[in-house]
């Protein structure tokens, strides 16, 4: 059981307490990696969770490098990676372990991830590609049969009620075989924020391992609790889109990579136009405003990327 933390002392306490409540049926060790927190997180773990193996880093290594650090030291056959801003809601992690043990071809697995209001966060996804970006961005999925759309896009396009194979699962909760870590070396240490689990799952799939989503349990995920201290909303958008665009170019080639920005911009302009018109016709609603705001964020990202501007990093 591995938890990486950076300045989330209260949430980390809840996270570790949930592990104690719901993972007691499985023999396990808990490893906590503190990435140079300034809020007393490491001292809290040392005092309140003395059974945990605590690693105190002198600098923030980021999500990927810190998890690699713990996986290299862990003794178990499986590694359960859990974000410090997440907590187990039931014994689903133990049931997930049973499912993966029964399927030796599965290298990585994930559970259903819930937001604080009970909505399901897109917990398993397909890899980003130019084709998928265009299908979703220009609403081409609306002319496709629902099962085709679900299988092509996953994300929030399906109900997360059934077990299925995916391309990657959200890093907030990942069950990984030790053998997978040994074969692949873990997360790419050059990726600091966003895209780490996507890139690793891609390499894992290239080795022939399967990635599994299973709704045998749920976790609560508050999301962005560490990165909010480092990046504002614009900064998160920049990091996410930059990482995804780079991965598409790496996997599909330079031409596809060059077409991604105009495709995103075209889709954003389409959304602004359609939902702007709905607003003028008196049919504006919260969903439409959210869509327009997200689309404007995409346009602002490329404006900053090409013309310069703040990178969204908060002052230390």
Quick: pLDDT tens for 63-82.
999 999 999 999 999 999 99
The arithmetic mean of pLDDT across residues 279-284, rounded, is: 91
Alpha-carbon span 208 to 229, nearest angstrom: 38
Residue 296 in this model has a pLDDT that exceeds 80: yes
CB-based contacts of 67: which residues, under 8 Å, 6+ apart? 2, 4, 33, 81, 186, 187
| Cα dihedral across residues 276, 279, 283, 289: positive or negative | positive
pTM above 0.85, yes or no: yes
What are residue 107's phi and psi, to 5 degrees? -100, -30
The arithmetic mean of pLDDT across residues 49-65, rounded, is: 97
DSSP state of 143: G
Residue 115 in this model has a pLDDT that exceeds 90: yes
Residues 196-236 pLDDT 10s: 999 999 999 999 999 999 999 999 999 766 777 777 889 99
Q: Tokens 């810190």 appear where? A: 66
Q: Tokens 């077990």 appear where? A: 163
The mean of the pLDDT values for the chain is: 95
Write the CATH number of the domain with boundaries 2-123+160-227: 3.90.550.10
Tell me what pLDDT residue 230 has.
73
Percent of the residues in the chain that have a pLDDT greater than 70, as a whole number: 97
Residue 314 in this model has a pLDDT that exceeds 90: no
Residue 83 in this model has a pLDDT that exceeds 60: yes
Tell me what pLDDT residue 313 has.
63
User: Residues spanned by CATH 3.90.550.10 within the chain?
Assistant: 2-123+160-227
Q: Tokens 């991965």 appear where? A: 247
Residues 129-161 pLDDT 10s: 999 999 999 999 999 999 999 999 999 999 999
- Judge whether 202 and 127 are in contact, CB under 8 Å: yes
**How far apart, in Å, are the Cα atoms of 131 and each of 123, 126, 141, 202, 312?**
21, 12, 11, 17, 29
Tell me what pLDDT residue 310 has.
65
**How far apart, in Å, are the Cα atoms of 28 and each of 20, 68, 78, 226, 240?**
10, 18, 9, 26, 33
Alpha-carbon span 308 to 137, nearest angstrom: 25
Token pair in block for residue 206: 């290239």
| Cα dihedral across residues 99, 101, 104, 105: positive or negative | positive
Residue among 5, 91, 94, 3 nearest 42 (CA): 5
Alpha-carbon span 33 to 109, nearest angstrom: 22
DSSP state of 98: H
Residues 167-176 pLDDT 10s: 999 999 999 9
The arithmetic mean of pLDDT across residues 98-102, rounded, is: 97
The arithmetic mean of pLDDT across residues 49-68, rounded, is: 97
**How far apart, in Å, are the Cα atoms of 261 and each of 93, 113, 165, 248?**
39, 30, 29, 11
Residue 127 in this model has a pLDDT that exceeds 90: yes
Residue 42 in this model has a pLDDT that exceeds 90: yes
Residue 316 in this model has a pLDDT that exceeds 50: no
């Amino acid at each position: 059981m591995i938890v990486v933390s950076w300045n989330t002392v209260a949430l980390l306490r809840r996270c570790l307490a949930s592990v104690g409540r719901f993972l007691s049926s499985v023999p396990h060790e808990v490893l906590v990696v503190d990435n140079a927190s300034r809020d007393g997180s490491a001292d809290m773990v040392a005092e309140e969770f003395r059974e945990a193996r605590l690693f105190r880093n002198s600098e923030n290594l980021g999500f990927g490098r810190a998890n690699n650090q713990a996986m290299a030291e862990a003794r178990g056959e499986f590694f359960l990676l859990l974000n410090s801003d997440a907590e187990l809601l039931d014994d689903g992690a133990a049931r997930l372990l049973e499912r993966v043990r029964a399927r030796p071809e599965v290298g990585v697995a994930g559970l259903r991830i819930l937001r604080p209001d009970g909505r399901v966060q897109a917990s398993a996804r397909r890899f980003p590609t130019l084709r998928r970006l265009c299908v979703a961005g220009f609403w081409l999925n609306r002319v496709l049969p629902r099962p085709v759309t679900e299988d092509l896009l996953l994300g929030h396009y399906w109900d997360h009620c059934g077990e299925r194979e995916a391309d990657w699962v959200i890093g907030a909760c990942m069950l990984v075989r030790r053998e997978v870590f040994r074969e692949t070396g873990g997360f790419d240490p050059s990726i600091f924020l966003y895209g780490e689990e996507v890139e690793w799952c891609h390499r894992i799939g290239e080795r022939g391992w399967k990635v599994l989503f299973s709704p045998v349990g749920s976790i609560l995920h508050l999301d962005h609790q560490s990165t909010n201290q480092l990046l504002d909303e614009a900064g998160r958008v920049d990091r996410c889109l930059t990482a995804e665009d780079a991965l598409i170019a790496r996997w599909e080639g330079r031409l596809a990579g060059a077409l991604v920005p105009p495709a995103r911009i075209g889709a954003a302009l389409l959304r602004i136009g359609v939902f702007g018109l709905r607003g003028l016709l008196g049919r504006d609603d919260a969903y439409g405003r959210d869509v327009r705001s997200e689309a404007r964020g995409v346009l602002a990202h490329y404006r900053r990327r090409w013309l310069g501007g703040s990178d969204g990093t908060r002052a230390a």
